[in-house]
Amino acid sequence: MSFEVKSPVFEGPLDLLLQLITSHRLTVTDLRLSDLVAEYLGYLETMQQLDLEVTSEFLVIAATLVQLKARSLLPDNTEIDLDEDLLLSEERDRLLSRLLANLTFKDVAAVFAARLESTSLLLPRLSGFDFEMDPPAVDVRIPTDAGGLAEVAERVLLRSQETPDLDHLDLELPSVSDAIADLRRRIDAEIETDFARLTEHLDRPLEVVAYFLAILELARWGLVEARQDNIDAAITLRSTGQSAGDLVSEWDALEQT
Amino acid sequence: MEIIPAIESILFVAESPVPLAELSQVLEVPPGEVTQALADLGERLSQTGSGLVLREAGGGWRLYTRPDLHPFLERYAATPSASKLSRAALEALAVVAYRQPVSRGQVSEIRGVDSEQALRTLERRTLIDVVGHAAGPGQALLYGTSDTFLEKLGLRSLEELPPLADHVPPPEIVETLERPFRPEDPSSDSKS
Amino acid sequence: MEIIPAIESILFVAESPVPLAELSQVLEVPPGEVTQALADLGERLSQTGSGLVLREAGGGWRLYTRPDLHPFLERYAATPSASKLSRAALEALAVVAYRQPVSRGQVSEIRGVDSEQALRTLERRTLIDVVGHAAGPGQALLYGTSDTFLEKLGLRSLEELPPLADHVPPPEIVETLERPFRPEDPSSDSKS
């Protein structure tokens, strides 16, 4: 079995089933259960963990599919246990309605993504009152009491301790080209800055890696000078003031494939 | 007739959308007049080629920079763009939006995959919030969407979410979904 | 001729006065043209009866609210929407309260999102103060809660903060998170 990372990576058995159906690779009669299992095991490998909840769900779905397949292979005049048949069709309907619900929410998610993207271009002002002399005494209201504050602290601190975010599994890798473009703008504007400051808005380690690769690339082009006095020191960066013209990064080509 | 500039100055300093009722209260002017003044302000901003726009979302009114000027603001270093939400997080957000209050287990059930990470990401971005506890033994946390969610989606209130029925796949897709499960399907009869 | 609205939008989001040279650099326009555009912007604001004024101060240009409108702002400051802390600010406050003295980087790391804005809001509202500097190269500012904070929560001292549950990670573990984005936890990364 290969470790190839597929794009888009499916998420769980329901998603896998959807993808198999919509890519016309699955009808119940010619269903190759081994395909389904192989893909699913591959998925588990990429997760590097066995999620029991998801696995048992996968087994239920697989069992339903196998039964449906068995049923479809029986000659029409075979005697069938009606109760069993009814159960099976209930199971089938349940699976179908879940697939439908899943598709529905995927559609909503796409609409949300588009909306969030368009509103991300609108920036509000965040610096509050602007009186130079005597800003009004804002009567701050902490919307909870001491006990409530402790609860918030507990939630946040527990969240910080939990397993690393696996979100990157279902996202394309962060783009080094985008990071280069972003860095060029910002290093130019700030004249001198450091790596931590340039990456502090990033959520995911992989994004930071992309920015680090971008810095290496910029240094290679001679657009940026990077310095680190010792291994614990901040990586300071300054623009060399050279104009880049239309340098094209190898990352552009790489990331387009 | 100082209502319009007064509104403008309030929205300038506000750190979240300001409800109409509060503007009306602060200015001691009936809501109807405030609505008119807001319309006039929006009109003036767009007619004079201002770099700002006025929007109603997330329960109130707020000033924003014009979307087409975003490239300049990106170059002005103070505005790193937040990274995009993952597909998993977006799907979980969709489920929370339409099924709130909803527990992690319910979200996972609907999505067919454990959604703890996705919900945590949404909570960090303050798009969702814990809104209560389920009755029953586990007392599972229940999630709902926040005002930030409404503002970021450009919605005045949850009622403005399009009906879920609008998102149900069209009949052709439903047909495709059903086909593999129909043993009596003529197309698969002709197999061998 | 998009320079004027571009300048307006930059000054709108800016946290402090923006020097002419910076505007010129960001807009890629010679300083002379920026000066002209600033004059035009100031002119437009005053001619259209805007609630904002443009002024040069503190080594740069900035938008301010018109001083004669400040009484409205005083009244707005007392409204619920102006005085309520956002969810992000509340989370940051909880982290500062229980982990002080704590740097911005640590708060961001614990919350999992950049918390600069949230801390700035808390500082402006005098709920937190800078209480020192971290040792080490960056000398990061360290924050702690203020007397106002205690007063608002009705506490006599920090010792009166309710204890956190036993399963919450103690500060020592959180300390090790200080370096941003360390490699993932070794226990979960055995395969690579």
Q: pLDDT band for position C114 (50/70/90)?
A: confident
At residue A237, the pLDDT reads: 81
pLDDT of residue A252: 59
| CB contact at 8 A, B87 and A9 | no
Mutation to test the A interface, candidates B111, B115, B153, B161, most A Cβ within 10 Å:
B111
Confidence band, pLDDT 50/70/90 cuts, at residue C83:
confident
Cα–chain-centroid distance for residue A231?
32
Tell whether B2 lies on the interface with C, counting CB pairs under 8 A. yes
A68: nearest CB among B12, B113, B183: B183
Q: In the numeric block, which tokens belong to residue B29?
A: 């002017």
How far A1 CA lies from chain B's nearest CA (Å)?
23
Q: Do C50 and B25 touch (CB under 8 A)?
A: no
CB distance A177 to A255 below 8 Å: yes
Which residue on chain C is closest to A126 by alpha carbon? Answer: C13
CA-based nearest residue to A237, from A196, A200, A197, A194 = A194
Reported confidence tier of residue C184, pLDDT bands at 50, 70, 90: very low
pLDDT higher than threshold 70 for residue A80: no
Question: Among A92-96, B161-165, C72-76, whose mean pLDDT is lowest?
Answer: A92-96
3-state helix, strand, coil in chain B (%, to 5): 55, 15, 30
Helix, strand or coil, per DSSP, at residue B143: strand
**CB atoms near residue C25 (< 10 Å):** 17
Q: What percent of chain C lies above the pLDDT cut of 90?
A: 53
pLDDT value of position A56: 62
| Rounded Cα gap, residues B97 and B161, in angstroms | 8
pLDDT at A69: 65
pLDDT in tens, C24-73: 999 999 999 999 999 999 999 999 999 999 999 888 999 999 999 989 99
Closest CA to C13 of B21, A85, B79: B79
Neighbors of chain A with 3 or more C-beta pairs under 8 Å: B, C
**E runs forming strands in B76-192:** 102-103, 128-133, 141-145
- Helix, strand, coil share of chain A (percent; to 5): 60, 5, 35
CA separation for the pair C130, C132 (Å, rounded): 6
Choice between C11 and A179, residue whose per-residue pLDDT is larger: C11
Mean pLDDT of A51-70: 64
CA distances from B165 to A105, B161, B177, B178 (A): 11, 11, 17, 19
Query: How many residues make up chain B in this entry?
Result: 192
CA distances from A207 to A175, B116, C72 (A): 8, 21, 44
Task: Please give the Cα distance from C163 to B189 (Å, whole number).
Answer: 68
In this prediction, residue B35 carries a pLDDT of 96
Q: For C71-81, what is the mean pLDDT?
A: 88
- Of the two residues A173 and C120, the one the predictor is more confident about is C120
Cβ atoms of C49 and B5 within 8 Å: the answer is yes
SS3 A119: helix
Q: Which of A51, A58, A17, A255 is nearest to A166 (CA)?
A: A51
pLDDT tens across A98-110, in order?
A: 888 888 888 888 8
Mean pLDDT within B75-101: 82
Neighbours of A203 (CB within 10 A): 22
Q: In this structure, which amino acid lies at residue A42?
A: G
Residue B77 has pLDDT above 50, yes or no: yes
More confident residue, A70 or B87: B87
With CB atoms and an 8 Å threshold, state whether C94 touches A156: yes
Flag if A201 and B83 touch (Cβ within 8 Å).
yes
Angstrom distances, CA of residue A47 to CA of A106, A165, B121, C191: 21, 11, 18, 11
Name the packing angle between helices A176-190 and C20-27 (round to 10°): 150
Q: In 3D, which of B105, B139, B141 has the Cα closest to residue B123? A: B141
Select the highest-mean-pLDDT range: A132-136, B52-56, B167-171, C99-103.
B52-56
Tens digits of residue pLDDT in A116-165: 888 888 888 888 887 654 556 667 788 888 888 998 888 888 887 665 44
H/E element, A227:
strand A224-227
Which comes out higher in pLDDT, residue C81 or B142? B142
Whether the CB-CB separation of A215 and A195 falls below 8 Å is answered with yes
pLDDT band for position B100 (cuts 50, 70, 90): very high
Q: Searching chain A, which residue's CA lies closest to the CA of residue C114?
A: A201
Closest chain C residue by Cα to residue A196: C180
Least confident of A196-210, C11-25, C33-47, C100-114: A196-210
Range of B8-12, B184-188, C160-164, C178-182 with top mean pLDDT: B8-12
Q: Which two structure tokens, joined as six digits, stand for A229?
A: 């006095």
Share of chain C residues as helix, strand and coil, in percent rounded to the nearest 5: 50, 15, 35
Contact A99, B174 (CB under 8 A): no
pLDDT at C93 > cutoff 50: yes
What's the one-letter identity of residue C115? S
**Does the structure show a pLDDT above 70 at A74?**
no
* ipTM score: 0.80
Specify the range with the lowest mean pLDDT, choosing from A38-47, A64-73, C100-109, C139-148. Answer: A38-47
Alpha-carbon distance B126 to B132, whole Å? 16
Of C48, C49, C47, C40, residue with least CA distance to C8 = C40
Q: Render pLDDT for B19-60 as a digit per residue (tens, 0 to 9).
A: 999 999 999 999 999 999 999 999 999 999 999 999 999 989
**Average confidence (pLDDT) over C160-165:** 89
* Residue A77: predicted pLDDT: 60
Residue A12 has pLDDT above 60, yes or no: yes
pLDDT surpassing 90 at residue B184: no
Whether B66 sits inside 8 A of C5 (CB atoms) is yes
pLDDT of A171 above 50: no
CB contact under 8 A, B111 and A105: yes
Neighbours of chain B (3+ CB pairs under 8 A): A, C
Q: Residue C64 and residue A132: Cβ atoms within 8 Å?
A: yes
Task: Give the DSSP H or E segment for A224.
Answer: strand A224-227
Q: What is the pLDDT of residues A200-245, one digit of tens each?
A: 777 666 677 777 778 877 877 778 887 777 767 777 888 777 665 5
DSSP annotation of A173 reads P
Euclidean distance between CA atoms C85 and C126, whole angstroms: 12
